Every structure is written in C-alpha cells, then in structure tokens.
C-alpha cells in the first residue's frame, strides 16, 4: 500500500496543507517525495509530526511547544482514496550510533557490494575479537561509515513499501552524495521514499520529470511559522532535465538552488549572470538572491520558470529580459501580464546584455558598462530589482 494524499490542519508551525504524494511508476526516482527548504523552516518537524500519526489511531495529536499544548490533525489516504492509519513504514536512520566494540555491519545480511563495488561477505559477528570479524569502522571517517551503513541498511529493507530518509547527505562529499542518490533512485522505482535534504546534489531533475514530487517549506509572514508548497509538474521538469544540447547548464547543480531560496533572479543567459554579478561586485553591492543557474536558456523559458517559482511559493522573484527584436517583447509582455506586480518583471532597452555583431548591448565587447542610454537604463532597471528584493 502507498500513501497518496495527506492533509494537515491546525499545526502550530505549518500552514494547513492538502498534498498528493508521488507513487512509483517503475521509472527511476518516480516514487521520490522530497521535503526541502532553508534551515529552520521545519522540515524535520513536518516529517516527524505527520508520520507519527501513521502508527497511531486517527484523531488529534497534541504537540507541546514551550509548555503549551497544540492539537492538530493529520490524515493520510492510500491510492484507493481510503483513509489509513497504522501503516507500516521504515525510517532509515543513518545517525544512530552503534556500540564501539560492535561497530559492524548488520548480521542479518549474507553479502552485498559496498560503495566501491567490492563484494563483502557478512558472517555472524559475536564480538570484536571474534575470528569471523571482517570489518570495523574504528579507523574509518564518518563519511565512509555513513555510506557503508546506508548501503547495508537499504539491502535489508527490500520488502518495505514506504521508506523515510532524513538528510542522507550528512558527512558526505558531493561525489558520494550522487552515489547514494543513485541507489535511492533505484529504490524509488517501486517504493515510496520520503526524504528531507539540504543538498542540491540529492535532488534530481530527471526524477521530478519521471513523476517525483517536492514539498518546499517557506518562511511565513507570521513569526516562527512556515508555509508548505508542492511542486509536481513533469512538463516543466522535463524542460530542465532534458535541455537542448546548446544549453546543458539548465540541469546543472546551480539550478537546484532555487529549491532552497526565497529570492530568485531570472535572466536569459549565462552572460547575463556573469556581467550582472561583475557589476554588483565592482560596485560593492550586497545581494541575497540567487540566480537560476547560469540563466534560463532564452527568453522563451522564463515563463515556465516563473510558473515553477509560483508553484514553490517563492516570495520574491525578479525577471530581466533583453529587448529582442525577433519577438518584439512578446515574452516580456506575457510574463508581466501573468506575474506582475507580485513578481518584478523588467525589460532592458538594449537588444542584448553585451554588444554583438548584430545587436546593441549594455556592456561593450570587453565587458565594460556603456555610458549611454542603454547603460543608464540597465542601472535603473537593476536598482529597481534590488530595491524589490530588499523591500
């Protein structure tokens, strides 16, 4: 049995939610359900306080905060739209310490391949002095311990339908985070996986394109509370997961910073990102937004990315278009109509961010800001965007 839907009402820290989860469809990562957000927004609280109800009778749960009781209601439904409780799920706890003298692989396994591909045979282990002792973590780093513990634990959970994993990236370098993600993606072909993470390496655009979902927690205007948003849009994810061969950077690690920010700046291309960043640095202007990767890959993509930001309930988003003569400002006008004034949508007078053979830009060919109407217009538009982010 899989979990299809959850409602949470009257939770003291998170606004009411009504979300449908992703159910595995046989493709990589399709059963993945991410829970992300900045530090301190309540990802662990959401995971723990909602899943607690799965092993208890239906009804209100009381959460104690600062000696006050807060009753809240969480309800789950299965894929047949039946209300469920007392559901079996398994949490993969990679932080649970083992006794030092018995810091070994689980004795329930017979064999598996570790993260380096080497096959390891496991025998019954009675103590660290046992003659069958094969591997101890006493001289290993915390990252190696975590990888091997993860590989061994998931090998013993192949019969489980629903898995919960909290921050599998802890203590791991990016390469090993990707290795662990690959294994989780395999599990999520046929299992539901609920996973919290702070790492863009753990999020995979291809999994989202295959049907995975992502819940983003955003800071609310009410102090110490968060608002949850659900992103489950395979068409937008596919545009990013399978970009044109000329724009492979659309699926780069930098694009996934959007899932951890509440201020996002959308521009057309990588030169826009580079030259705007150069201008801000040269003028010692502080900023706390993130660019979407190395640009959207063209003005036509910005509309889809604004929809992505709206789905994620990102509080402040700005988009800056070039005045491209080919589309006569069509993409800019369409986005401004759909998303302004909630989001800041601006268009430059110049045809490009930099002078080209057939286009007039804001910067010269050697990356100097021009002292003409186009340079002044750029500074005015950028100041308007920076003021918006600070407001």
Residue ranges covered by each domain of the chain: 3-89+160-233, 97-153, 248-390
- CB contact burial 32-48 (16+ within 10 A = b; e otherwise): bbbbbbbeebbbebbbe
C-alpha 313/C-alpha 41 separation (Å) is 14
Domain 248-390 in the same topology as domain 3-89+160-233: yes
Residue 159 binned pLDDT confidence (cut-offs 50, 70, 90)? confident
Token pair 């002095």 is at which residue? Answer: 129
Fold of domain 248-390:
Rossmann fold (3.40.50)
Strand 3-9 versus strand 192-196 pairing type: unpaired
At 330-385, the pLDDT tens digits run 999 999 999 999 999 999 999 999 999 889 999 999 999 999 999 999 999 999 99
C-alpha 352/C-alpha 270 separation (Å) is 12
At 9-50, the pLDDT tens digits run 877 778 888 889 999 999 999 999 999 988 777 777 777 666
C-alpha 378/C-alpha 361 separation (Å) is 10
Class of CATH domain 3-89+160-233 = alpha beta
At 285-303, the pLDDT tens digits run 999 999 999 999 889 999 9
């Amino acid at each position: 049995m899989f979990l299809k839907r959850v409602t949470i009402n009257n939770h003291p820290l998170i606004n009411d939610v009504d979300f449908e989860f992703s159910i595995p469809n046989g493709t990589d990562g399709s059963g993945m359900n991410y829970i992300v957000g900045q530090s301190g927004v309540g990802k662990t609280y959401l995971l723990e306080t909602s899943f607690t109800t799965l092993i208890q009778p239906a009804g209100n749960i009381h959460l104690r905060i600062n000696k006050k009781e807060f009753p809240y209601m969480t309800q789950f439904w299965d894929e047949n739209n039946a209300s469920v409780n007392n559901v079996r799920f398994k949490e993969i706890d990679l932080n649970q310490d083992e006794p030092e003298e018995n810091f070994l692989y689980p004795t329930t396994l017979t064999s598996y391949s570790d993260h380096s591909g080497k096959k390891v045979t496991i025998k019954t282990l009675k103590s660290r002095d046992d003659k069958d002792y094969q591997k101890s973590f006493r001289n290993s780093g915390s990252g190696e311990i975590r990888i091997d513990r993860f590989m061994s634990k998931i090998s013993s959970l192949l019969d489980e339908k629903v898995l919960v994993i909290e921050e599998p990236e802890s203590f791991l370098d990016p390469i090993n985070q990707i290795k662990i993600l690959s294994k989780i993606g395999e599990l999520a072909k046929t299992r539901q996986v609920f996973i919290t993470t702070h790492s863009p390496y753990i999020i995979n655009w291809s999994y989202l394109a295959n049907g995975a979902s992502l819940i983003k927690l955003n800071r609310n205007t009410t102090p110490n509370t968060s608002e949850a948003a659900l992103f489950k849009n395979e068409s937008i994810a596919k545009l990013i997961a399978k970009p044109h061969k000329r724009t492979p950077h659309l699926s780069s690690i930098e694009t996934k910073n959007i899932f951890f920010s509440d201020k996002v700046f959308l521009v057309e291309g990588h030169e826009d990102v580079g030259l705007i960043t150069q201008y801000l640095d040269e003028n010692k202007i502080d900023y706390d937004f993130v660019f979407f990767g190395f640009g959207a890959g063209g003005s036509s993509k910005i509309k889809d990315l604004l929809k992505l930001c709206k789905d994620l309930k990102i509080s402040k988003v700005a988009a800056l278009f070039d005045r491209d003569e080919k589309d006569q400002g069509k993409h800019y006008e369409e986005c401004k109509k759909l998303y302004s004034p909630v989001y800041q949508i601006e268009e430059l007078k110049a045809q490009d961010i930099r002078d080209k053979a057939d286009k007039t830009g804001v910067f010269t060919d050697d990356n100097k800001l021009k002292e003409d109407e186009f340079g002044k217009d750029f500074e005015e538009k950028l100041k308007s965007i920076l003021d918006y982010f600070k407001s």
